[in-house]
Chain A
């Protein structure tokens, strides 16, 4: 069991309502809102896989997919 490694931040754009909660609380500022106010993984390389965005998302639009999952 090493450090969890990010495979993909799967964001369902059609479910996202652009509230910005994920953007505000990401500890490493991975997420941004795009020009249509939908969450976007702008810096996935900085993701620590803490899962807080996935757990706080009120729209259930974010899924953090880890390697070997």
Chain B
């Protein structure tokens, strides 16, 4: 099956701006699913609100377009009732870490078998370019015209500290790595977090004079480096990409089944 067979083509061309990295995330997520040969009916994609969340409208899986920040809560409900299904939850950085910050850390802590994708474009794009939890200190946004004084999260450290059993980061430049990480994240039994650095040329790029979409993508090549590389040891400003955490931990639905068995003993 080709990537296009997983699309709801009637909704194309999609609504994302020219050069928006979210389309590249969709593209390579579908490639990963194609490589894994997962049946459309075995996938549930749950999204919240924002540019990122529109992704669920374009894929021909079971999809839920839910409320801001709460996609993981809905996904948890689906997974608990149908643990056999693959749950994929793409979120924006604001959706995942501001509005949905609590749902995010607790889903990670429970280690429920969901693949969470943080599409980090460092801005609230849909509502007009307000600064988000990953905008970063000193950057410009519609609501920070004299520069942002909020420090950003490190999404990888946050997910790791919260207990996610798979944590990775990649970018829209490194597409082969992106598809490969998505495959591993989907196969991983437990809570998987994949942060993808994805360009918003319309708001973040324009406000911060980051150039065209292609220049922003090129910048991901220059500003990132593989985990533990020599370049990373020499220059701490470089952002590391790759798989940070991949470990086997008891998964939530499996643990819940054990509780049911305990409670049913002798009945």
Residues on A facing B (Cβ under 8 Å): 14-21, 23-25, 52, 55-61, 63
Contacts of A61 in B (CB 8 A): 13
Q: List which B220-241 residues lie within 8 A (CB) of chain A.
A: none
Contacts of A59 in B (CB 8 A): 13-14, 23
Complex CA distance for A67 and B17, rounded to whole angstroms: 33
Contacts of B4 in A (CB 8 A): 60, 63
Q: CB < 8 Å: which of B2, B27, B212 contacts A58? A: B27
Contact A60 B27 (CB under 8 A): yes
Complex CA distance for A52 and B221, rounded to whole angstroms: 14
Contact A21 B27 (CB under 8 A): no
Q: Interface range on chain B: under 10, 10 to 19, 20 to 34, or 35 or more?
A: 20 to 34
Contact A24 B20 (CB under 8 A): no
A69: shortest Cβ distance to chain B, in Å? 10
Contact B2 A21 (CB under 8 A): no
Most buried by B among A16, A55, A57, A60: A60
Contact A17 B24 (CB under 8 A): no
Contacts of A57 in B (CB 8 A): 23-24, 27
Q: List which B1-41 residues lie within 8 A (CB) of chain A.
A: 2-4, 7, 12-14, 16-24, 26-28, 31
Contacts of B43 in A (CB 8 A): none
Complex CA distance for A49 and B218, rounded to whole angstroms: 21
A16: shortest Cβ distance to chain B, in Å? 8
Interface string of B88-121 (1 = CB under 8 A from A): 0000000000000000000000000000000000
Query: What is the chain A residue whose CB lies nearest that of B179?
Result: A55
Contact A20 B22 (CB under 8 A): no
Contacts of A24 in B (CB 8 A): 214, 217-218
Complex CA distance for A59 and B124, rounded to whole angstroms: 21
Contact B27 A55 (CB under 8 A): yes
Contacts of B21 in A (CB 8 A): 58
Q: List which B151-184 residues lie within 8 A (CB) of chain A.
A: 172-173, 175-176, 179
Complex CA distance for A50 and B251, rounded to whole angstroms: 38
Q: CB < 8 Å: which of A14, A20, A63 contacts B13? A: A14
Contacts of B218 in A (CB 8 A): 24
Contact B175 A15 (CB under 8 A): no
Contacts of B26 in A (CB 8 A): 60
Counting CB contacts under 8 A, is B194 at the interface?
A: no
Counting CB contacts under 8 A, is B185 at the interface?
A: no
Contact A25 B217 (CB under 8 A): yes
Query: What is the chain B residue whose CB lies nearest that of A23?
Result: B214
Counting CB contacts under 8 A, is B45 at the interface?
A: no
Contacts of B12 in A (CB 8 A): 15, 60
A22: shortest Cβ distance to chain B, in Å? 9
Q: List 27 A-B contacts (CB under 8 A).
A: A17-B18, A17-B19, A19-B212, A19-B213, A19-B214, A20-B19, A20-B212, A20-B213, A21-B19, A24-B218, A25-B214, A25-B217, A55-B24, A55-B28, A55-B31, A56-B173, A57-B23, A58-B18, A58-B23, A58-B172, A58-B213, A59-B13, A60-B3, A60-B12, A61-B13, A63-B2, A63-B4
Query: What is the chain B residue whose CB lies nearest that of A22?
Result: B214
Q: CB < 8 Å: which of A19, A56, A63 contacts B175? A: A56
